[in-house]
Structure 1
Amino acid sequence: MKTFKILPLLLLFVLASCSTVKVNSDYDKNVDFSPYKTFAFHKTGIDKSEISDLDKKRILRSIDQTMTSKGFTKNDNPDLLISFFTKEREQVNVNQYNAGWGYGWGWGWNPYLWGGNTYVSRYPEGTLYIDIIDAKKKELIWQGEGEGILTKDTERKDEKINEFVTKILEQYPPKKK
């Protein structure tokens, strides 16, 4: 009986821990990340990003909150400059289900006689790149990227952008192995 009470909680935990954002990062292995304590946004880099100003504000707000929660402070004379850019593309999935009689079709009953069904689905997929630059040397020292399905629903945009940013910045600063 206890198993039936624990099972729904376990299932809920597993579903909640699944993320729809795939992340990756790369960094300069010769950089010591421990002295960096302050950050600012690299305006010229961000201005080149081809997304709406509202989405830029959402991303900036999320980066600011995430970096602050990691102990970094925003400063006019920063150690780090943060920039980002995005890429968006339409994903198309085509699934075809065939059944019927004859060579190469397999055996079975099919209401469409010799044909099958073809289902096409389209959805926007995007990639968010976050660049962290050494402000004094003007060199890229870390880059994170997150890829996932985008939403046009304005109610969920904040949530989705926050998911992208937090998942990407979980990998900053890199842990030395």
Structure 2
Amino acid sequence: MKIIRYLSLVCLLLATGACSSVRVVKTEPATNFSLTNYRTFAFSDIESAGDLPQSGFYRSQIDALKKAIETELKQKGLRRVDTQPDLMMNIGIAVDEKTQTRETNIRTDPPFYIGQRRYSWRSQEVPVGKYRQGTVDVHLIDPKRNEMVWQGVVEGILPKKPEKLQKLIDEGMAKLFARL
């Protein structure tokens, strides 16, 4: 009996660990790209427009994203410099508000009355909540050749609490740069 409890606990832990809110959408290296050919990197200037990018919270999250990327690249043997880097880093960020829906079904939703003495049922999408989905697109650019040598895209559901966002950023960049 103890073995069954132990195995079910292990299965539960594995299942919850596999459910991550971050996923790597794609990674695309250029032909003959090898990270070992590069020793230094730098971030390109970030240009943004609108009200949100000017807020202090947005700027702090950009800095957190840069820090997570820098940590991952340092683990791969690169170092950050300010002048004449071997690689330039371009970051694109998009945040979209999405609506979560569910489809009505005959077992839980009563049929609509249509016409005299004729009842019919039609399924429809019912909104049940809203959430924000963030996408980060990272480009590595070789400044000597002026071409992109690697691209990676990661996306995830953004938490409502700002404290959890740093953990999500670190997790997303770790997953993305694990494929570099």
**Class of the TM-score when normalised by the shorter of the 2 chains:** 0.7 to 0.9
Q: How many residues align?
A: 162
Secondary structure of the corresponding residue to residue 36 of structure 2: coil
Shift of 1:120: 2.3
Report Cα offsets for 1:4-59 as digits up to 9, x if no partner: 212202321231133222211112124344312221212x2x23487421111110
What is the distance in 1 between the residues matched to 2:30 and 2:89? 16
**Residues 77-86 or 48-57, more deviating:** 48-57
Residue 31, structure 1, aligned to residue 33, structure 2? yes
Report Cα offsets for 1:65-124 as digits up to 9, x if no partner: 111122222234321111201111111122243444675539xxxxxxxxx994421111
What is the distance in 1 between the residues matched to 2:6 and 2:23? 32
Q: Is the 8 A contact 1:126 1:148 kept in 2?
A: yes
What is the distance in 2 between the residues matched to 1:79 and 1:117? 50
State the Cα RMSD in Å: 2.7
Match of 2:16 in 1: 15
Q: TM-score, normalised by structure 2?
A: 0.77
Q: TM-score, normalised by structure 1?
A: 0.78
Provide structure 2 residue ranges, at least 5 long, that are not aligned to the other structure: 112-117
Shift of 1:151: 2.1
Instruction: Tell me: CA distance 1:58–1:117, structure 2 relative to 1, closer, same or farther (3 Å).
Output: closer
Letter in 1 for 2:16: L
Q: Is the 8 A contact 1:98 1:117 kept in 2?
A: no
- Which of 79, 85, 96 is matched with 2:86 structurally? 79
Provide structure 1 residue ranges, at least 5 long, that are not aligned to the other structure: 107-115, 173-177
Match of 1:161 in 2: 169
